[in-house]
C-alpha cells in the first residue's frame, strides 16, 4: 500500500455516534425469524461485548479468525476487525468503536456497539435496535413488552461495579539488582525496594476489592518483554515500580522525589537518562526479534495505541497526584518515556520511579516498611480513582 493510499484510507475514517448505554446491560435480546434469545453482555475488557456463537445461530452471520484478525460476514457483507483495536474495516472504511473485538477462552467476542449501532444503520431495512428494551430484532417482528433493567451493585468502599484486576510489576530481580540504592540499608538494592512496595500495593488493592497479579513475588529475573503481557484478558492495567538514581556528581544527592511515566517519546535529557537506566535490564536477557510493520495496519494500530495512551496518561496523572502527596521528596510530575517494559502493554500502563536511591531522605522512605506502606496506600487510591472513572465512561454510569 502506498502512502497516498494510507492517507485516502485515513480520510475515509467514519464514525459511529458516541452514544453509550446509560445503564450497564447484562444481556441483550436478539429476536429474528430463527428464534429469540437473551445474549449475555460482558464488560471484561472495559466495553460491552457479546460472544459470537449465539449471534451466529440467530443471524445471517459467519465468523472466521485469521492471525490477528476476526472477519465477520453479515448478510453477505464482510467486516474486518483487527483484534483488540477499537475500530473495524467496512470495505476500506475505518469505523472507530469504543472498544475492539477480542478472543477470550477460545471464543470471539464482538463489540456490542457494532451490533446495536452499526448493523441497524448499515442494514436499515432489515434490522433495528431498541435501546430501552435492549432488543435487537429483525424488522417486521411483532412488538414486545419491555422489562426493567436489573439493579446495579457497587463495592461498598470503592464504588466499583465490576471486579477489576491490576498487574503489579516489581522492577528488576534475580541477577539484575537494579540500581545500588546507595543510601538504602546495607545489602538493599532497587530490586528489594520494588518488591517491598509491590507487595504492599497488592495488599492495599486487595483491601479495596481489586484482584492483583504480580509479575514476581520473589527474587527472580523476569524479562522486560514478559512483564506487561501478563496483563491480558482479565486485566485492567499495569503498574511497574522502580527506584531512580543519579550518577555521582556535584549535588547529586540533593535531588529527590517521585515521578510517573507512560509510554511515548522521551522529551527531556532526564527522561532519556531514566529510560537508558531501566532498559539496561535487557542486557540480562537474550535477544528478541523485532517484527516489521504492515502499512495497511497503520491506522488501526494507531487507533489501538492512541486509546491505550490516553488511558495511560490519565492513570499516570491520578497515581502521581496521590503518591506525590504521600512522598517526602519533590513532586516531579508525569512524563512520557520509551520504556521497553511499557512498550509491550496492551492495556493502560505506567511506570513509577518511587524515589531516588541517591537521596538520603528518599532512600530512607522507600526502604522502610512505613514508607512503602504509605506509598502503596496512595498508589492504590490513585488506581481505584482511575478505575472508577473508567467504569463511569465505559459503563455509562456516574463516578460518584
Ligand atoms: Zn529500575
- Phi and psi (nearest 5°) for 28? -120, 150
Q: Of 3-7, 83-87, 199-203, 244-248, which range is least confident? A: 3-7
pLDDT-based confidence at 253, cuts 50/70/90?
very high
Retrieve residue 75's grid coordinates: 448478510
Over residues 357-370, the mean pLDDT reads 98
Is residue 23 predicted with pLDDT exceeding 50? no
pLDDT at 98: 82
Ligand 1 centroid to Cα of residue 390, in Å, is: 28
Long-range contacts of 80-84 (CB under 8 A, 24+ apart): 81/110, 82/297, 82/300, 82/301, 82/304, 84/304, 84/346
Q: From the centroid of its chain, how far is CA 66?
A: 24
Quote the CA–CA distance of 186 and 81 in Å, as a whole number. 54
C-alpha of residue 208 to centroid of ligand 1, in Å: 27
Please tell me whether residue 76 adopts helix, strand or coil conformation.
coil
pLDDT the model gives residue 397 = 53
Q: What is the pLDDT of residue 308?
A: 83
Pairwise CA distance, residues 131 & 117, whole Å: 10
Strand 27-32 to 135-138 pairing: parallel
d(CA 190, ligand 1 centre) in Å: 7
Assess whether pLDDT exceeds 60 at residue 399: no
Mean per-residue pLDDT, 37-44:
89
Mean pLDDT of 306-314: 86
Rounded to the nearest angstrom, the distance between the alpha carbon of 345 and the centre of ligand 1 is 17
Interatomic CA distance for residues 121 and 116, integer angstroms: 9
228-237, 325-334, 369-378: which has the minimum mean pLDDT?
Answer: 228-237
pLDDT mean over 306-312: 84
Domain 165-394 has CATH 3.40.630.40: yes
How high is the pLDDT of residue 304?
Answer: 64
- Cell of residue 210, nine digits: 481489586
Whether the per-residue pLDDT at 317 is higher than 90: the answer is yes
Q: How far is ligand 1, taken at its centre, from the CA of residue 277, in Å?
A: 7
Fold type of domain 13-138: Copper Amine Oxidase; Chain A, domain 1 (3.30.457)
pLDDT in tens, 46-58: 889 999 999 999 9
Q: Cell 488511558 maps to which residue?
A: 311
Q: Is pLDDT above 70 for 10? A: no
Instruction: Report the percent of the chain where pLDDT is more than 70.
Output: 85
* Residue with cell string 514508607: 371
The percent of the chain in helix, strand and coil, each rounded to the nearest 5, is 35, 25, 40
pLDDT score for 148: 55
> What distance in angstroms lies between residue 177's CA and the mean position of ligand 1's atoms?
9
Centroid of ligand 1 to alpha carbon of 179 (angstroms): 7
Mean pLDDT across 95-109: 88
- What predicted TM-score, i.e. pTM, was given to this entire model? 0.66
Q: Separation of 281 CA from ligand 1 center, angstroms?
A: 8
Residues in the chain: 400
Per domain, the residue ranges of the chain are 13-138, 165-394
Query: Which candidate, 77, 69, 59, places its Cα nearest to that of 116?
Result: 59
| Radius of gyration of the chain measured on its C-alpha atoms | 24
Q: What integer best gives the mean pLDDT of the chain?
A: 85
Among residues 280, 244, 226, which one has the least CA distance to residue 363? Answer: 244
According to the model, what pLDDT value does residue 161 have? Answer: 87
C-alpha 386 – ligand 1 centre gap (Å): 24
Most confident option among 125-129, 376-380, 385-389: 376-380
CA of 395 to the centre of ligand 1 (A): 36
Model confidence band, residue 295 (pLDDT cutoffs 50, 70, 90): very low
Rounded CA-CA distance 369/148 in Å is 50
Picking from 116, 119, 87, the residue whose alpha carbon sits closest to that of residue 102 is 87
Mean pLDDT of 345-371: 96
pLDDT at 4: 39
All residues at 6 or more sequence positions from 362 whose CB lies less than 8 Å from its CB, including other chains: 183, 256, 257, 328, 329, 355, 356
Q: How far is the CA of 290 from the centre of ligand 1 (A)?
A: 23
> What pLDDT was estimated at residue 131?
82
Amino acid at each position: 500500500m502506498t502512502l497516498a493510499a494510507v492517507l485516502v484510507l485515513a480520510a475515509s475514517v467514519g464514525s459511529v455516534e458516541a452514544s453509550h448505554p446509560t445503564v450497564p446491560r447484562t444481556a441483550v435480546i436478539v429476536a429474528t425469524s430463527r428464534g429469540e434469545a437473551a445474549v449475555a453482555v460482558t464488560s471484561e475488557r472495559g466495553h460491552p461485548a457479546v460472544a459470537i456463537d449465539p449471534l451466529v445461530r440467530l443471524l445471517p452471520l459467519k465468523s472466521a479468525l485469521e492471525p490477528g484478525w476476526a472477519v465477520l460476514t453479515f448478510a453477505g457483507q464482510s467486516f474486518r476487525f483487527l483484534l483488540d483495536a477499537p475500530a473495524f474495516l467496512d470495505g476500506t472504511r475505518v469505523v472507530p468503536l469504543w472498544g475492539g473485538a477480542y478472543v477470550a477462552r477460545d471464543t470471539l467476542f464482538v463489540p456490542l456497539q457494532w451490533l446495536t449501532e452499526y448493523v441497524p444503520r448499515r442494514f436499515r431495512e432489515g434490522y433495528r435496535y431498541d435501546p430501552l428494551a435492549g432488543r435487537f430484532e429483525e424488522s417486521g417482528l411483532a412488538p414486545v413488552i419491555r422489562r426493567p433493567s436489573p439493579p446495579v451493585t457497587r463495592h461498598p468502599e470503592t464504588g466499583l461495579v465490576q471486579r477489576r484486576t491490576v498487574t503489579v510489576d516489581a522492577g528488576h530481580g534475580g541477577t539484575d539488582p537494579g540500581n545500588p540504592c546507595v543510601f538504602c540499608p546495607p545489602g538493599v538494592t532497587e530490586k528489594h525496594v520494588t518488591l517491598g512496595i509491590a507487595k504492599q500495593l497488592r495488599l492495599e488493592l486487595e483491601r479495596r476489592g481489586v484482584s492483583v497479579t504480580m509479575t514476581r513475588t520473589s527474587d527472580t529475573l523476569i524479562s522486560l518483554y514478559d512483564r506487561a503481557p501478563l496483563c491480558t484478558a482479565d486485566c485492567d492495567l499495569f503498574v511497574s515500580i522502580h527506584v531512580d538514581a543519579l550518577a555521582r556528581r556535584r549535588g547529586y544527592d540533593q535531588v529527590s522525589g517521585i515521578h510517573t511515566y507512560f509510554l511515548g517519546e522521551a522529551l527531556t535529557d532526564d527522561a532519556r537518562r531514566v529510560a537508558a537506566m531501566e532498559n539496561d535490564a535487557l542486557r540480562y536477557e537474550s535477544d528478541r526479534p523485532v517484527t516489521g510493520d504492515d502499512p495497511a495496519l497503520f491506522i488501526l494500530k494507531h487507533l489501538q495505541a492512541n486509546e491505550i495512551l490516553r488511558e495511560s496518561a490519565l492513570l499516570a496523572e491520578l497515581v502521581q497526584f496521590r503518591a506525590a502527596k504521600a512522598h517526602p521528596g519533590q513532586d516531579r510530575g508525569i512524563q512520557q518515556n520509551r520504556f521497553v517494559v511499557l512498550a509491550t502493554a496492551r492495556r493502560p500502563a505506567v511506570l513509577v520511579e518511587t524515589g531516588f536511591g541517591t537521596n538520603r531522605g528518599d532512600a530512607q522512605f522507600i526502604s522502610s516498611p512505613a514508607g512503602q506502606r504509605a506509598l502503596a496506600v496512595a498508589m492504590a487510591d490513585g488506581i481505584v480513582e482511575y478505575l472508577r472513572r473508567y467504569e463511569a465512561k465505559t459503563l455509562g454510569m456516574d463516578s460518584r
